[in-house]
Amino acid sequence: MAYSHRTVLLEPAIDALLSPAFGRRSAVPAVNAPPLDGVYVDGTFGRGGHSRLLLSRLAPQARLLVFDKDPVAIAEAQALRAADGRVEVVHDGFASLDTQLDRLGITLVDGVLLDLGVSSPQIDEAERGFSFMRDGPLDMRMDTSRGQTAAQWLAEADQEQIKEVIADYGEERFAFQIAKAIVARRQSGPLRTTGELAQLVAGTVRTREKGQHPATRTFQAIRIHINEELAQLARALPTALTRLRAGGRMAVISFHSLEDRMVKQCFAAAAHPGRDRARLPIPERDMPQPYVTLLGRVQADETEVADNVRARSAVLRVAERTGVPLSPEEAADFVRLPGRASAQQRRGGRAAR
């Protein structure tokens, strides 16, 4: 069954950036309403659903900086740029936000949106190699113009490396058995297609989670590793927080527990920087003040999930910057990574989303 592309949490995400009342009780108004003529960032353009709705609500003087690694998405973004001069297009991942803002002479922004993970068109195109349901080349790169494919990595990595990736990024309890089967399979020839990998994993995993293909976690893990998704997120979160003006907002849509946990922990640490000192005899006036205000968590409602099953796991988290100064070093301390992603982050990352 083919899916037409539907932007997940479309209205809530844009409300999160622009609505003064979002996440607040009516008796507690926003200190500063988000400006409709400000500078905004869509860090994951995809096919432009969020960007188009955001542009429809912004003033003629506003600017929207859109990022994506996918050449197809960039072509779509360039078409939008030709029709709307408020758009700036960056063919790179959101981890390059700091560099790109400097290049454009932008110091602070008014809102940042990240819609994490793989997009529906990427899943539905067999030749991209993301789906175990559609046989195609074992690629999995967000940016097909650079980097190592999944097939190349699986042909070169040792059993321990493969096991760690599947365990850390897929939270797969049969990671050892799957890694062993992949290495053994290489004796008869390399894995070249998604169908071959899916079949191998299905024959290795002894039990299945209800309603889930046995290769789901393995494909997720390899995709995250190939694109360094968590390491890139770990670079982008602190950058966005330090680049938001007072009253500016960050909205992040996550689709699996690893990335959602990172976002949740980062926002919580920024909102409660003195939590680890709460029991110490320190006067309240000397305690660190919040760098952000948490504006809540939103999930797709029943109507959206019924219309788009891929929305069922989506979680939108929103934070608003306070006026408390925040250094890049302080912001970086808010991010915690699982095992292998820590090493990728230290290397600076090669691929952003």
Binding site residue list for S-adenosyl-L-methionine? 48-50, 68, 94, 115, 122
Beta carbons within 8 Å of 184's beta carbon, 6+ residues apart: none
What amino acid is encoded at 141 in this protein? Answer: R
Of the CA atoms within 13 Å of residue 287, those in its CB half-sphere come to 16
Measured CA to CA, the distance from residue 132 to residue 194 in angstroms comes to 6
Q: Which residues pair with 112 in a beta bridge?
A: 41, 250
Measured CA to CA, the distance from residue 191 to residue 304 in angstroms comes to 37
Binding-site residues sit at: 48-50, 68, 94, 115, 122
Q: How far is CA 316 from CA 13, 117, 218, 260, 288, in A?
A: 7, 13, 25, 9, 27
Phi, psi of 26 (to 5 degrees): -60, -25
**Structure token pair of residue 204:** 């290795």
Given a contact cutoff of 8 angstroms between Cβ atoms, the answer to whether 267 and 292 are in contact is: yes
Given a contact cutoff of 8 angstroms between Cβ atoms, the answer to whether 225 and 108 are in contact is: no
Torsion angle (degrees, nearest 10) of CA 99, 100, 102, 105: 180
Q: Which of 151, 344, 330, 313 is nearest to 229 (CA)?
A: 344
Phi, psi of 139 (to 5 degrees): -105, -75
Q: What is the DSSP letter of 137?
A: B
Q: Where are the beta strands (DSSP E) in 13-54?
A: 39-42
Residue 131 neighbours by CB distance under 10 Å: 21
Phi, psi of 299 (to 5 degrees): -120, 160
Q: What is the DSSP letter of 30?
A: -
